Chain A
Amino acid sequence: MGRWATAVFAFQALVIAQAANSLIPPSESSLLYERIPPCRISTVQGDTIFVERLSAQQPVVLTFVFARCVGACSPMLASLAAATEWLEESSSPASVIVASFDSSDTPSSLSWMADAYRDRRRWIIGTVVEPERRSLLRTLQFNYMLSTSGPTLFDHPSVVYVIGQGKVVRVILGYVLTQKALKAAIEQARGELIPAYPLPDPRIPFRCVEYDPQSQTVEYGWGIVVLGSPLVIGSLICFIVVLLSSMHSSTHSETSYVRRPPDLSNPHACSGESQS
């Protein structure tokens, strides 16, 4: 059985590796706003979830793992759990789907994950129903191949897809995930986009807005303070000038253009008939 399984894995990995021609990780720029194909997840609890329907209603954080993984999956899940802990308290809906990319996995083989993360109400753990699994993996450019480190192990990227309104909005690579990045991505998936962003350039001093490309978030920079400075500087100058001249009032009357002091009680004073 073990040998057969190995042969199947080898064949499967070979096919996928050939199709992908390498382990090139998915790229966000080519996947941006890509619609995910219809697909179902069979969960550990025995339910069936329609991913594209769910993601049309609420943001979905999707990641792929396989049950026997001894490499990146476990730390990645731990990182994902930490980065999405706030979701448990959040009132707005969002789901985290942990799906197996491995066709030999069954919902029950993933039950250890469900046990490990049973306090996560928003997590959906399961396998993708065939043949939708293939089209989902192909669409999301998820390539994997048989590992050289073990007979039934795979080399695969650690990647988190954030899906909103049925479309991919973020592809976060790497198994270290931050709450900031996930939060921003889920907001984007809700359609709350940032209207513009600066391109990071450390040589530019006092920027109005700073941008973090990792989390795709913008923050106000010191430029805002610089922009406000004329208000302070100008007001201060006015204040000093007024203060100084009111201290020295009634001195320079000779240097006046006015021969006679202004008669402001005269109703025609403001019509100022003549200067000469």
Chain B
Amino acid sequence: MQTQILAFIVWGTLALAVVGTYFFFLLSTRQPLEGEDYYRAVGKLRKPLLIAMLIVLSLTFGFTIGSLPYATSRDLPDRVIYVGVKQFSFLLSSQPLVSEVQMDTLGGELIEIPANSRVEFRVRSFDVNHGFGIFAPSGELVAQTQAMPGYVNRLIVTLPKEGTYSVLCLEYCGIAHHGMRASFNVFSPVTGSTQ
């Protein structure tokens, strides 16, 4: 399942449980019982709650910590695309980007990637912090990394779906932050088409 949907369902369920619990306790004050030590009774839930949280959080931690998005101990990429970012544009290139001048001199390149190949994006910024967010043709955010001045971030992804992917900026970078964009195509190695 898509990560976002799973996360939303988990949050929604837990949020409803919390709200339900709060209203249950709120309504319980309508029938107050004096003399009974209910505080102690509810307090007895502390240990089970602690144990339950420890188990749930540890399991979640265990299940999720294996899928870190960082380029470590994985299959090597098939190709590398260099990404230069500055206020307020992206440049995707098959040439290494070593100076800011290239942002203007290298023309926009039509980037074509075969579906299911492993692609490494080497992302760097020439001014402020930017974000490099890859949006699938369906509009879903599938991967991202920051573009930090003075650093090169290596984002390695496998894109299974064919079509035109959009790149949007995911770190606020100034007045035209919302206007930054780029795109690339993912094509089927069998049919050769992007659709």
CB atoms of A and B under 8 A apart anywhere in the complex?
yes
Tell me, in angstroms, the Cα distance from A32 to B95 when the chains sit together. Answer: 11
Tell me, in angstroms, the Cα distance from A16 to B111 when the chains sit together. Answer: 32
User: A32-B80, A33-B80 are contacts. A165–B151 as well, Cβ < 8 Å?
Assistant: no
Q: What interface size band does chain A fall in?
A: 10 to 19
Tell me, in angstroms, the Cα distance from A194 to B152 when the chains sit together. Answer: 10
- Inside 8 A of A197's CB, which chain B residues have their CB? 151-152
- Inside 8 A of B95's CB, which chain A residues have their CB? 29
Tell me, in angstroms, the Cα distance from A197 to B123 when the chains sit together. Answer: 10
Q: What interface size band does chain B fall in?
A: 20 to 34
| Per-position binary interface string of chain B over residues 73-91, scored 1 when its CB falls under 8 Å from any chain A CB and 0 otherwise | 1111111100000000000
- Inside 8 A of B152's CB, which chain A residues have their CB? 196-199
- Inside 8 A of B96's CB, which chain A residues have their CB? 29
Tell me, in angstroms, the Cα distance from A29 to B80 when the chains sit together. Answer: 9
Tell me, in angstroms, the Cα distance from A138 to B48 when the chains sit together. Answer: 67
B151 & A198 in contact (Cβ 8 Å cutoff) = yes
CB distance from B61 to the nearest CB of A (A): 20
Q: Is A114 an interface residue (CB 8 A)?
A: no
Q: Is B153 an interface residue (CB 8 A)?
A: yes
Tell me, in angstroms, the Cα distance from A204 to B79 when the chains sit together. Answer: 31
Q: Is B150 an interface residue (CB 8 A)?
A: yes
Tell me, in angstroms, the Cα distance from A152 to B120 when the chains sit together. Answer: 43
Of the candidates A29, A167, A191, the one whose C-beta lies within 8 Å of that of B74 is: A191
CB distance from B182 to the nearest CB of A (A): 20
- Inside 8 A of B74's CB, which chain A residues have their CB? 191, 193
A192 & B73 in contact (Cβ 8 Å cutoff) = yes
CB distance from B70 to the nearest CB of A (A): 4
Determine the main DSSP class of B at the interface with A.
Answer: loop
Q: Is B28 an interface residue (CB 8 A)?
A: no
Tell me, in angstroms, the Cα distance from A32 to B150 when the chains sit together. Answer: 22
Determine the main DSSP class of A at the interface with B.
Answer: loop
CB distance from B124 to the nearest CB of A (A): 7
Q: Which of A191, A193, A198 has the most CB of B within 10 A?
A: A193
B78 & A195 in contact (Cβ 8 Å cutoff) = no
User: A29-B96, A33-B79, A199-B124 are contacts. A191–B73 as well, Cβ < 8 Å?
Assistant: yes
- Inside 8 A of A165's CB, which chain B residues have their CB? 75-76
Of the candidates B72, B78, B154, the one whose C-beta lies within 8 Å of that of A192 is: B72
Q: Is A201 an interface residue (CB 8 A)?
A: yes
B150 & A204 in contact (Cβ 8 Å cutoff) = yes
A33 & B77 in contact (Cβ 8 Å cutoff) = yes
Q: Is A164 an interface residue (CB 8 A)?
A: yes
B154 & A193 in contact (Cβ 8 Å cutoff) = yes
Tell me, in angstroms, the Cα distance from A5 to B91 when the chains sit together. Answer: 52
Of the candidates A29, A32, A196, the one whose C-beta lies within 8 Å of that of B153 is: A196
CB distance from A128 to the nearest CB of B (A): 23
CB distance from B69 to the nearest CB of A (A): 9
CB distance from B94 to the nearest CB of A (A): 9
- Inside 8 A of B79's CB, which chain A residues have their CB? 33
Q: Is B57 an interface residue (CB 8 A)?
A: no
- Inside 8 A of A164's CB, which chain B residues have their CB? 76
Q: Is A169 an interface residue (CB 8 A)?
A: yes
B75 & A198 in contact (Cβ 8 Å cutoff) = no
24 CB < 8 A contacts A-B: A29-B95, A32-B80, A33-B76, A167-B76, A169-B76, A191-B73, A191-B74, A191-B75, A192-B72, A193-B71, A193-B76, A194-B72, A195-B71, A195-B72, A195-B154, A196-B151, A197-B151, A197-B152, A198-B150, A198-B151, A199-B151, A199-B152, A201-B150, A204-B150
Q: Which 6 residue pairs spanning A and B have beta carbons closest together? A: A195-B70, A193-B71, A196-B153, A29-B96, A195-B71, A165-B76
Residues on A lying within 8 angstroms of B by beta carbon are 29, 32-33, 164-165, 167, 169, 189, 191-199, 201, 204
